[in-house]
Chains A and B, each alone.
Chain A
């Protein structure tokens, strides 16, 4: 008989305590979905926005718990960290397949265009070697600054880590700002046929992912300033970096296929 159950545990895995966030997250998802239906059928956006706010709150609290566990010194041991990396890698795989669907739509429309030509007649496309090329360089540069941060982290040089992360985030925000500028100056509207459909939905979902990645990196920056990461223990940073590189690669595909080849 062992009174202390911790001594029962002879395995390295993390037995997570009961948590209210999953069920509350599901509730927030219901409010969000219900609100989206109201919004799409000529109601106001307020229920949907409440759902978004609730979901963001749940995510914040849930991941705050995860960060607390990461810093408690025993929950995220090396075996558990392998599992966390598997989880992030698999999540990115699922994201790749989501974009796969939108690229399918783009190539279906552009390789076999309904009107015989792509871009469709009358569509004045964006010049790829203007802002989009600059954005390509910005994202590539952000990948480099992120690697600089990672090297700083591995060599326990916190100044390099913080500066590298800050540079990456700045580049990410610059990218998003340029995309917003491009959208507002494009000669084609969102609802004007298949070209803007595939263009805005594919680049729009990418832009959304850039924003998520920027937030993820910002969380890492805050954690870096707080002294969270260690040279041999920084799964959160790694996950953010993988995610950022994934977003980068998606952009390269978008740039070469939709902006360049598709113009």
Chain B
């Protein structure tokens, strides 16, 4: 039936796959837009990875080496600053968010709730296309006025009086566009989930991935405009003579930190919650059991989202907050461990007694649970203001948040990729290459980031391209780890290539009885339009 309908000429063009570039440029189809997001995320994931490997090459040994090769970009220390800034911003805004929310969210939220598309298909398209000018501005800024070497946090006064060139203005406007893109996306997801569920799909029956996107969308809706305000203030302080963050004019640089982290802390949950959702689907599918404690899992995400808005100043323990304020933020931050623990233990309880199949998505999910827990545990350590004073701005922090992001969010992305790519392409991937990819990446990231805890506890500061000889050993290990991750990524690219060359095809549900959500009821690859007749429970 699908082939027959695809060839007919539609009365209004909405019902059929448009031909040529218009299909992508003018798209109003959630799957096509999701595909564009995923391609965008892969491309910028590679760019962000390139930046991080350049940083690790520089850090392999004391002294300045690699940054000297990049002389054409500017002075070595500034080039280093630009690389870490670019790495952070690209990975957050152009890799993790487009993959987890724009990519998988677009593809699978409508499929999982039985909706024919997103609520606002045109707005969905501008959400994606705004990322292109945003990315052009950020990448372009690297080549202007020495690049934006202010860190992904863009702290004032470094970002105001400390960096007067156009590069920082470009980075700020890049963030404005990326923020507008994600706010529009968030409105779209919330409306879709609230208004377009199939009959019988009550909120308390929704797959946990949909719950995770719903909570994430609310976090974006409430947090991103505050960032927009903060960076607008940066822009006017830089160019139009306002004094928001200028102490000489009665302003306060710490205000920027408050506004930034009021956005920034929810932002890290924006990055991880969709991964949590994917892990829940995959652990349930491959354990062939319903998720343990479904309602607890859903409301744990709601709780994480809520508490995420009232803990922001734990990023600012070294900014001169008074002791009572710090005591509150310690207590609030520790509370997050409770709903997070609910999730970890419920995943384990789901696997417990299950008939587990160790396919690639499952081993990535188990890897994610293990590694994210490590990052969570170090998070409990540094939530304590007293300890944080010692490790603030050291490699301990870099190690901590890469365990949550590089292993939590990234492993979540790969989990979703392997779980859903047969549905998206209709083709199987190579289990062998998938498992090689997992093990290389698993060894690589652990080798990269575990030693950072030792370095941080020993006092090695982050964001500095040179260091004393005493830190050389573990830095070399860390750099070797990043090379192994590069190798793993190469295997991933080979896997994608081989998958698209493959003549094999998969059925509607390649995962068997454990896969109970609605996306497995439609053919693989999913047709251009799905759920034209709402599924019934």
Listed in ascending order, the chain A residues whose CB lies under 8 Å from chain B are 1-6, 8-11, 13, 15-23, 25-27, 29-30, 33-34, 36-37, 40-41, 62, 79, 82-83, 86-87, 90-91, 93-102, 104-105, 108-109, 112-115, 120, 190-195, 197-198, 200-201
Contact = CB atoms under 8 A, between A and B. Distances in A.
Indicate the member of B25, B136, B243 with the most A CB atoms within 10 Å.
Answer: B243
Contacts of B26: 18-20, 22-23
B54 interface: no
Contact of A87 (B10, B22, B119, B230): B119
Nearest to B259: A101
Given A1-B4, A16-B122, A87-B120, A109 B176 contact: no
B220 to A, nearest CB: 9
Contact of A23 (B129, B195, B252, B534): B129
Interface string B404-422: 0000000000000000000
A83 B195 contact: yes
Contacts of B222: 93-94, 97
B16 A5 contact: yes
A97 B166 CA distance: 28
B247 interface: yes
Interface of B: 1, 4-5, 8, 10-16, 18, 22-23, 25-28, 115-117, 119-123, 125-126, 129-130, 132-133, 136-137, 166, 169-170, 173-174, 176-177, 180, 183, 186-188, 190-192, 194-196, 221-226, 228-230, 233, 235-236, 238-244, 247, 249-252, 255, 258-259, 262, 529, 531-534
B123 A82 contact: no
Contacts of A36: 169, 173
Contacts of A114: 247, 250-252
The interface residues of chain B, by DSSP majority, are classed as helix
B169 A98 contact: no
A105 B195 contact: no
A191 B236 CA distance: 10
A57 B533 CA distance: 37
B241 A18 contact: no
A190 B242 contact: yes
Contacts of B117: 13, 15-16
Contacts of B187: 86-87, 90-91, 94
A37 B1 CA distance: 52
A6 B13 CA distance: 11
B13 A18 contact: yes
Contacts of B15: 5-6, 8-9, 15
B116 A29 contact: no
Nearest to B248: A193
A210 B311 CA distance: 34
A133 B491 CA distance: 68
Contact of B28 (A2, A5, A16, A37): A16
A33 B229 contact: no
Contacts, number: 234
Contacts of A194: 243-244, 249-251
Given A23-B26, A94-B225, A105-B244, A62 B255 contact: no
Nearest to B141: A37
A240 B415 CA distance: 43
Contacts of B137: 30, 33-34
Contacts of A112: 252
Nearest to B195: A83
Given A9-B532, A18-B28, A29-B177, A108 B252 contact: yes
Indicate the member of B177, B196, B229, B255 with the most A CB atoms within 10 Å.
Answer: B229
11 contacts: A9-B15, A11-B532, A21-B126, A22-B123, A29-B133, A30-B136, A41-B166, A87-B119, A97-B223, A120-B250, A192-B249
A2 B529 CA distance: 14
Contact of A97 (B11, B221, B239, B249): B221
Contact of B116 (A11, A62, A113): A11
B116 A15 contact: yes
Given A9-B15, A20-B25, A41-B169, A98 B225 contact: yes
The 10 A-B pairs at the shortest CB distance, nearest first, are namely: A101-B229, A191-B241, A30-B133, A194-B250, A22-B126, A26-B129, A97-B225, A22-B125, A18-B26, A5-B15
Contact of A5 (B5, B18, B174, B258): B5
Given A18-B18, A97-B222, A194-B249, A90 B191 contact: yes
Given A3-B8, A98-B225, A193-B249, 9 more contacts: A11-B531, A23-B126, A100-B226, A100-B229, A101-B225, A104-B226, A105-B233, A190-B242, A192-B249
